[in-house]
Amino acid sequence: MDAKIVWLFIFVLIYWAYCIFWGIKGALSAKTASDYFIAGRRLSLWVFVLAATATSFSSRRVSVRLCIVLCHYYSVYRGHVSEAPVDAG
């Protein structure tokens, strides 16, 4: 296996372990399920703004890609536009 792929897997596993660690730590410190999901209302404003911005950008990226794929599907495979441009010459 290529060294780049190995490093990618290593970093993905480290990130996964990091997320699991903080999830378990948060679950153990929370008293109720709603306390866990809203972090006990202890998040500072800048953390909330960063999380909301990341979520917003992520959802826009996914929705734009979905739109591009669907527009391409309906234009090409439904016969509205030919797949290859027509040669005028």
Q: pLDDT of 45-80, one tens digit each?
A: 887 788 878 877 776 666 677 677 767 666 666 655
Residues in CB range of 74: below 8 A, 6 or more apart: 80
Tell me the H-state helices in 1-89: 3-29, 33-37, 45-76
Q: Output the pLDDT for position 21.
A: 93
Q: Output the pLDDT for position 13.
A: 93
Handedness of CA 69, 74, 79, 82 (dihedral sign): negative
Q: Taking the complete model, does pTM exceed 0.85, yes or no?
A: no
Q: pLDDT of 19-29, one tens digit each?
A: 899 888 888 88
Q: Output the pLDDT for position 67.
A: 72
